[in-house]
Structures are given as structure tokens and as C-alpha cells.
Amino acid sequence: METENRSLLIEGAKALGIPLDARRVEAFDIYLKELLKWNRKINLTAIRTEKEIVLKHFLDSLSTYPYVSSISSLLDIGSGAGLPGIPLKIVEPSLEITLIDSTRKKVDFQRHIIRTLGLKGIEAIHGRVQDKEILHAMGQRFDAVISRGFSDLRTFLSLSLTFLKKGGTVLAMKGPVRSEEIQSLIQLEGSSYRLKKVSSFVLPFSSIKRSILLFEKV
């Protein structure tokens, strides 16, 4: 990782309240290099520069840290290149994480990174959350479910419900959310969820606007 981008990662994480020691920085460095290498052969992400990966993948993933740092188990649906699950695992080793994606090559990459970094308490599953076997094996197992744009919000909430413990949290990572959209979200939740919070912010050292929507299973 170039020095400038390494500094961006460290200072950006610090701005999010996450101090990165040398071991964690090295893990992100390996992750970034492997992502760029694999991406030349298979389409893991449309983002292809170091700086964009640090900003739009790593720091974006870490922006959810305040909402998962106190839980025990997390399901990352449609995790693609392992985002946000693997960055969260790097900074919070005690968090039990399950990644699931329907594209075999992406899951192969996730497993490669997990092995390469020696991460424990994290697994990558190839499949769809709608599959009966997966629903049966992982129903009501997780404290939180997260996604970075796996589907529209209504579908994401519906599919997450089965996997959450009562009182569990859904975290939907989105772009900017307008006030009128927030009102529609309150109506959208119905009886299964309560809208807990809408956090809108700009990623550190950028002009990239993001939102995190938090719903509680009731």
C-alpha cells in the first residue's frame, strides 16, 4: 500500500474512533493487494485503485463499527469481496461473523483472505439467504444483519427477519437519505421492526455522503 493511502487508512479509521495498530494495518495492506490481484482475473469490484478501495471499501465498512462493537454475532448478506464483514473482523477479532454470497468466485476470494490473514470465528458461505437449508441452519442465530446494497430495503428487511434474534438489529448501508425517505421508512417497517436510527455522515477525508439505517426486530 502506498504511504499516502496507508496514512489515509490510519487517519480515516482514527476519525471513525478506531485506532489501528501495525498488525491491523498490515492485514488491510494484504487484503488490498489480494483484492487488486484477484480483481484482474475475476470481477470482484468496479473500484480498482488503492485510494478508492481504502475510502469506498475499507473506511465505508469501518463506519459501521460503532453499531457492531458491542454485539457477538453478525451476518453479512451479499458480502461480495468480503465487505463490510472482513474489515470489521480485522478490527474486532471477538466478533463472530458469517459472510454469505451467491457468487462462488467471490466466496472463494473471501475464504482465501480469511486463510491468508489467519482470521478465526468467521466463515464464508456460498448460497442464497432464501435457500431452505440456510434458513433452517441459521434461523434466529444473529445479533445483527448487515448489507452494503444487497437489495432494495424492503426485501433486505424481509429476508433478514428470519436470521435475527428478538431485539436484533438490521444495519442497511446506503447513500444519502432525504427526510421524506425517512418518513416512508417509518411506515415501511410495519410490525416486525422499529426504526432505531438514521445516521448520515461524510466519509473521512472525502466528500462521499453515506447513511446507515438501523432497525430493531420487535
**Structural domain contains residue 148:** yes
202-215 tens-digit pLDDT: 999 999 999 999 99
- State the pLDDT at residue 180: 73
Q: Is the model's pLDDT at 184 over the cut of 90?
A: no
105-161 tens-digit pLDDT: 999 999 999 999 999 999 999 999 999 999 999 999 999 999 987 778 888 998 999
**Structural domain contains residue 24:** no
Model confidence at 190, in pLDDT bands (50, 70, 90)?
A: low
Average the pLDDT over 83-91 and give the result.
Answer: 98
Model confidence at 48, in pLDDT bands (50, 70, 90)?
A: confident
The cell numbers describing 50, all together, are: 488503492
Average the pLDDT over 88-94 and give the result.
Answer: 97
Closest CA to 117 of 17, 13, 35: 35
**Structural domain contains residue 143:** yes
Q: Is the model's pLDDT at 191 over the cut of 90?
A: no
The cell numbers describing 52, all together, are: 478508492
- State the pLDDT at residue 177: 83
**Structural domain contains residue 20:** no
The structural domain count of the chain equals: 1
Residue 197: CATH number of its domain: 3.40.50.150
**Structural domain contains residue 144:** yes
Domain housing 169:
60-217
**Structural domain contains residue 141:** yes
**Structural domain contains residue 21:** no
Calpha distance 49→164 (Å, rounded):
36
- State the pLDDT at residue 187: 64
The cell numbers describing 188, all together, are: 415501511
